[in-house]
Structure 1
Amino acid sequence: MQTSRLVELPQSSDDDDDISLLGDADDPVAKHNTEEWCKPSAFSRCVWHLAFLWNLLFLLLGLLTLGIGVWGLLAKGWLQGERLASLGSDPMLLFVLAGLGASTVSLAGCLGVLRSSTCLLRFFVGAVLAFVGLEVLGGLLLLVARQRLRDALQDALLLCLLRYQEEPDLRFLVDEVQRSLRCCGLSSYRDWESNPYFNCSAPGVQACSVPASCCLDPRQNGSIINDQCAFGVLHLGDMAAAGVVHLGGCVVQLGAWLRGQAGGIATGAAVLVLLEATGLLLVLKVLADIVPGGARG
Structure 2
Amino acid sequence: MGWFPSFGRFFFFWERRNHFQNGENKPLIPKGDVKKSEGTSAATYLGTHDSSGSHTSSSLSCHEGSTRASSWSVFTPRVLSSSSWSDYILKYLLITSNLLFTVLGLVTLVLGLWGLINKESFAQEKISGIGTDPMLLFTFLGLVLALLSLTGCVGALRENMCLLRTFSAAVLLLLVAQVLAVVLVYSLQGQIVEVLRSGMLAAMVRYLDDLDLRFITDEIQTGLQCCGADTYRDWEINVYFNCSAPGVQACGVPPSCCVDPLENGTVWNTQCGVGAQQLDEFSAQSVIFLGGCLGGISRWIEHNSGVIVTVVIILLGAQILTLFITAHLLQKIRWNRAQHDVYLKSLQ
CA distance in 2, matches of 1:223, 1:71: 30
Counterpart residue number, 1:109: 152
Counterpart residue number, 1:247: 290
**Residue correspondence of structure 1 range 48-127 to structure 2 within 5 A:** 48-80=91-123, 83-127=126-170
Give the match's secondary structure for 1:257.
helix
CA distance in 2, matches of 1:64, 1:216: 36
Counterpart residue number, 1:37: 79
Counterpart residue number, 2:38: none
TM-score by length of 1: 0.88
Give the match's secondary structure for 1:208.
coil
CA distance in 2, matches of 1:276, 1:204: 52
Counterpart residue number, 1:212: 255
Counterpart residue number, 2:204: 161
**Residue correspondence of structure 1 range 274-285 to structure 2 within 5 A:** 274-285=317-328
Q: What amino acid is the match of 2:199?
A: A
Q: Quick check: 1:47 aligned with 2:90?
A: yes
Give the match's secondary structure for 2:226.
coil
Picking from 310, 323, 339, the partner of 1:267 is 310
CA distance in 2, matches of 1:261, 1:188: 23
By how many angstroms is 1:256 displaced? 1.0
CA RMSD of aligned residues (A): 2.6
| 1:93-120 superposed Cα distances (whole Å, 9 cap, x missing partner) | 2221111111111111111122221000
TM-score by length of 2: 0.75
Give the match's secondary structure for 1:175.
helix
Q: What amino acid is the match of 2:136?
A: L
Q: What amino acid is the match of 1:93?
A: L
CA distance in 1, matches of 2:223, 2:153: 41
By how many angstroms is 1:71 displaced? 2.0
By how many angstroms is 1:82 displaced? 5.2
Q: What amino acid is the match of 2:318?
A: L
Q: Quick check: 1:134 aligned with 2:186?
A: no
Give the match's secondary structure for 1:45.
helix
Aligned residues: 289
By how many angstroms is 1:175 displaced? 1.4
Q: What amino acid is the match of 1:167?
A: D
CA distance in 1, matches of 2:273, 2:104: 41
> Which has the larger displacement, 160-169 or 125-134?
160-169
| 1:197-224 superposed Cα distances (whole Å, 9 cap, x missing partner) | 1111112221111111111211111211
By how many angstroms is 1:10 displaced? 7.1
Structure possessing the higher relative contact order (Cα contacts under 8 Å, 6 or more residues apart):
1
Describe the shift of the 1:70–1:40 C-alpha distance in structure 2 as closer, same or farther (beyond 3 A): farther
| Identical amino acids, percent of aligned pairs | 37
> Which has the larger displacement, 43-52 or 206-215?
43-52
Give the match's secondary structure for 2:282.
helix
Describe the shift of the 1:84–1:140 C-alpha distance in structure 2 as closer, same or farther (beyond 3 A): same
CA distance in 1, matches of 2:69, 2:160: 32
CA contact (8 A) 1:181 1:253 kept: yes
For structure 2, the 5+ residue unaligned runs are 1-46, 339-348
CA contact (8 A) 2:81 2:336 kept: no
Picking from 221, 224, 231, the partner of 2:267 is 224
Q: What amino acid is the match of 2:75?
A: N
CA distance in 2, matches of 1:286, 1:21: 38
CA distance in 2, matches of 1:191, 1:36: 73
Computing the radius of gyration over CA atoms, which structure comes out larger, 1 or 2?
2
Give the match's secondary structure for 1:294.
helix
For structure 1, the 5+ residue unaligned runs are none
CA distance in 1, matches of 2:49, 2:131: 96
Q: What amino acid is the match of 1:285?
A: H
CA contact (8 A) 2:161 2:330 kept: yes
> Which has the larger displacement, 64-73 or 234-243?
234-243
**Residue correspondence of structure 1 range 168-179 to structure 2 within 5 A:** 168-179=211-222
